[in-house]
Amino acid sequence: MSTTNVVQVAGLNKSYGKTNVLESLDFNIEENTITGLLGRNGAGKTTIMSILAGQEPRSGGRVSVFGADPFENADVLANMCFVRESQKYPEDFKTSHVLKTGPWFFENWDAALADELVEVFRLPVTTRIKKLSRGQLSAVAIIVGMASRAPLTIFDEPYLGLDATARGLFYDYLLRDSMKHPRTILMSTHLIDEVSNLLEKVVVIDRGRKVLDMGVDEARDAAFTVAGGAQAIESVVHDRKVLRTQTLGGLASVTVDGAADADIRARAAAHGVEIGSVGLQDLVSAYGLIDDPAAAAITGAPPARHHAATEEVTR
């Protein structure tokens, strides 16, 4: 089955002055998928999204959205909705104005869906937007993103201030509505566990570089844990790349890069240690510690040759 890439990024660089914030990034986003853009604070997620949405120029490389460069390209931007925290509204704008003007900007605007979501999020429509609570402001942005039915919808941490019930409703609506009306969705989030059932693909960024780019199902095999006696673990994983080490007395749990192959399983059985799977959140968290001397320094434990970061777990 052939796939169409709505977004194609090749060798993307972005710098502010002498600081490189994105370096040689390559990734594609397939049409009609929900992709998570994940990574630690300052990794470069908002910068990537702003470049895709034509709001930031790049410093180098190629970016194509719907087959064209998005920067200052009205045709490309007409098919896109970028939902971000810092969205500005005209002074004195109310939610009712947002609902009224939505169809001016988005060809596929679904007014019935917007009204339904206003009810679901219990949003006051006649209150001025600048008077809304943090969570209510996020709800307005989510409603715009959902009701726009834009062929490419980009959500940059859309949930700030939203309560757990509202977040659950957002995820339910996003899943149901994107099944009924397929479109391409890119979402950055730190609440990875919450959205792991929603995402089909993940692109993980660390310090402006891509560290993971795969289907969520494949990501389950991207790493594994080994838990048990610290010395036994060292014998099992000594020639593997350890992403993260957590120790408690003589016990340890390490997160190891790659799939748990037959060789590792045999060694684990021989040394009486347990192999486990790694959830998406832990995986992203482990990749965020790669080659991070600061993380190792917190515990005073020097990183070993294959070990990226070591943390002492204290009770």
Ligand X SMILES: Nc1ncnc2c1ncn2[C@@H]1O[C@H](COP(=O)(O)OP(=O)(O)OP(=O)(O)O)[C@@H](O)[C@H]1O
Among 23, 25, 33, 46, binds ligand X (CB under 6 A): 46
2 touches ligand X by CB under 6 A: no
Our CB check for ligand X shows the closer of 44 and 102 to be 44
b/e for 246-276, b at 16 or more Cβ within 10 A?
Answer: bbeeeebbbbbbeebeeebeebbeebebebe
Q: Tell me how far, at minimum, the Cβ of 196 lies from ligand X, in Å.
A: 17
Among 7, 43, 52, 289, binds ligand X (CB under 6 A): 43
16 touches ligand X by CB under 6 A: yes
User: Three-state DSSP class for 308?
Assistant: coil
Stretch that binds ligand X, among 37-45, 106-114, 126-134, 175-183 (CB under 6 A): 37-45
Q: Which residue has the tokens 């890119």?
A: 186
Stretch that binds ligand X, among 34-42, 164-172, 255-263, 304-312 (CB under 6 A): 34-42
Helices 111-120 and 95-105, axial angle in degrees (round to 10): 150
Our CB check for ligand X shows the closer of 2 and 19 to be 19
- Quote the tokens at residue 246: 């957590």
Q: Tell me how far, at minimum, the Cβ of 47 lies from ligand X, in Å.
A: 3
Our CB check for ligand X shows the closer of 57 and 250 to be 57
Task: Give the separation between CA 206 and CA 239, rounded to whole angstroms.
Answer: 24
36 touches ligand X by CB under 6 A: no
Are 50 and 34 in contact by the 8 Å Cβ rule? The answer is no
Provide the β-strand partners of residue 228. 252
Our CB check for ligand X shows the closer of 2 and 41 to be 41
Assign residue 285 a region: left if phi > 0, alpha if psi is -120 to 50, beta otherwise? alpha
Q: Tell me how far, at minimum, the Cβ of 286 lies from ligand X, in Å.
A: 17
Q: Binders of ligand X: how many residues, by CB under 6 A? A: 10
Stretch that binds ligand X, among 44-52, 89-97, 175-183, 226-234 (CB under 6 A): 44-52
Q: What is the DSSP string of 196-217?
A: TTT-SEEEEEETTEEEEEEEHH
Our CB check for ligand X shows the closer of 21 and 191 to be 21
44 touches ligand X by CB under 6 A: yes
Q: What is the DSSP string of 98-145?
A: HHHHHHHH-TT--HHHHHHHHHHTT--SSSBGGGS-HHHHHHHHHHHH
Task: Give the separation between CA 154 and CA 188, rounded to whole angstroms.
Answer: 8
Among 3, 4, 10, 42, binds ligand X (CB under 6 A): 42
Interaction site with ligand X (CB under 6 A) = 16, 21, 39, 41-47
